[in-house]
Structure 1
Amino acid sequence: MQALIQKQLENAPKSPGYRIFMLAAAAAAMAWSCTALQMDSVKQDGLQIAANIVSGILQPDTELLFNLTTAGVPYLLVETVCIAFLGTIIGAILAVPLSFLSASNIVPLPAALAGRSIIMAVRTVPAFVYGLMFIRVTGPGAFAGLLTMSLCSIGMLSKMYIDAIQDLDVRILESLDASGCNTFQKIRYGIIPQLVPNFLSTVIYRFDMNLRDAAVLGLVGAGGIGAPLIFAMSSYRWNEVGSILAGLIILVLVIEYFSTKIRVKLARG
């Protein structure tokens, strides 16, 4: 084995010129990027302002953090979770038929290309743009955030669903067909058991993403905890910013822990 490894190392291509060129290109790119730094624009009291921000964040407003009214952090976090959860569920349901209609191993290639074009168009538009559009239609609030999360979820989930559908083990379907199973039985025992774990794992991952996006969408008025966060930052109330960030960190850690456990369970069966 050692002789085989030594032989492979000796036969490895020697290209010092290529490596030197790549290192020089990387160094040139870094040097060019550094030219964008403009330290002259930094205010003289910038360090003091930064110190005040850090000090305020590290000393969160406990009254706001444990306030159980609709203006408190717990209620706003629950609203954010609801927006992310319902948006994920609606997007996951609507993505199923769209993904089947876009899988080239199920439908003709022209129909699959048309479906993929729709999915690509949906995924191209940023969540912020969708949020601003829905706010114009429904007005500011959690419903606009829900619609935004649903539409953004459809784009990503459909793409992941298509990959899972195209990776189906057709030998299982052929075995069921040889056993005399009808179409419903092939779907029940051959397709669904293969797709459900992948689908659920993808949905859980998308929920993690939606939870963070829902918090950010509040910045444009689409409900959740983002709006109080931007208001506190605009008013330089850094203690309130610290309490909101503390709540978000705790929430994300809890959701991440449980979602990881569920994904591992699905992967291992």
Structure 2
Amino acid sequence: MNHVEKQLYAAPRNYLYLYTVAFILTVLFVWSVSAVSLNDVKESGLSIAVNIISGILTPDLELLLTFNSNGVAYLLVETIAIAFLGTIIGSILAIPLAFLSASNVVPKPVAFLTRLLLIFIRTVPAIVYGLMFIRVTGPGPFAGVLTIGITSIGMLSKLYVDAIENLDTSVLESMTSIGCTTMEKIRYGIVPQLFSMFLSIMIYRFDMNLRDASVLGLVGAGGIGAPLLFAMNSYRWNEVGSILIGLVILIIIVELASNKMRSKLIKG
């Protein structure tokens, strides 16, 4: 213990650095708090907040348990379909872009330009893509699928590139030494290394896309977001509670299932 204590006391005391960081964080915190204004909070707002909580705690069970096209279950299935199909489209389109972004596969100028394109794709928010596609295809699930597909490309390509650049090249060198063709090296040397990683990344992205698909409905891109917005605008808080409960249950189920599948893929 004496040795440990001596090492502890011998450690440099960067008080100036700590005080500077603490001062900067304090200034940023005070500046952020100054932007909060409670002047617009009225008595009616507090009563609305109580109604929202009451509606969530006493949901419309008929809407929650109805299985027609207006029920929560149907809207959740539609949301899952939008997220799933959008993830598949984005995953497929991301593969060639990922290989074009990998500096160990293509020349560095090509990789640099492709990465700039992916940065631009990731920069635009999903809600903006949704508004653009609605103008092209009209409101509905198809606009949501296209939006999810495009927004998935940026992140999936980035994660794919990390997997590609961490390939075990010694396997490919061994296959080259025994005279394997390019297709054989891809089939038996590259695909087995990348398949489980790519699939794990796709499942992770699907989990995120499910939340995005719920939000995209707010702008008319299908899914459960639009009924949620209509219910909120009409102050039907019981319906809002039903929709939120359905969303929470769906997210929990998908979260547990995706974590289990991803852990199996990663661990083998």
Cα distance in 1 for residues equivalent to 2:27 and 2:139: 47
Shift of 1:102: 1.6
Map of 1:97 onto structure 2 = 96
Over 3 Å off, 4+ runs: 2-11
Shift of 1:226: 0.2
Shift of 1:8: 4.6
In structure 2, relative to structure 1, the CA distance for the partners of 1:11 and 1:35 (3 Å cut) is same
Map of 1:57 onto structure 2 = 56
Cα RMSD, aligned residues only: 1.5
- SS of the residue aligned with 2:93? helix
Shift of 1:3: 7.1
- SS of the residue aligned with 2:59? coil
Q: TM-score, normalised by structure 2?
A: 0.95
- SS of the residue aligned with 1:152? helix
Map of 1:175 onto structure 2 = 174
Shift of 1:165: 0.7
Q: Mark the runs of 5 or more structure 2 residues left unpaired by the alignment.
A: none
- SS of the residue aligned with 1:41? coil
Q: TM-score, normalised by structure 1?
A: 0.95
- Find out whether 1:220 has 2:200 as its counterpart: no
Cα distance in 2 for residues equivalent to 1:130 and 1:226: 16
Give the AA of the match of 1:17.
L
The CA deviation string for residues 154-197 of structure 1, in whole angstroms up to 9 with x for no partner, is: 11111111111111111121122223322222212221111111
Cα distance in 1 for residues equivalent to 2:204 and 2:239: 30
Bigger CA drift: 258-267 or 181-190? 181-190
- Find out whether 1:208 has 2:207 as its counterpart: yes
Map of 1:119 onto structure 2 = 118
Bigger CA drift: 110-119 or 7-16? 7-16
The CA deviation string for residues 43-95 of structure 1, in whole angstroms up to 9 with x for no partner, is: 02332221111001111101111111111111100000000000000110111
Cα distance in 2 for residues equivalent to 1:182 and 1:149: 37
Cα distance in 2 for residues equivalent to 1:153 and 1:73: 26
1:1-269 → structure 2 map (5 Å cutoff): 5-6=4-5, 8-269=7-268
In structure 2, relative to structure 1, the CA distance for the partners of 1:5 and 1:169 (3 Å cut) is farther
Q: Mark the runs of 5 or more structure 1 residues left unpaired by the alignment.
A: none
Shift of 1:5: 4.9
| Amino-acid identity (%) | 61
How many residues are paired up? 268
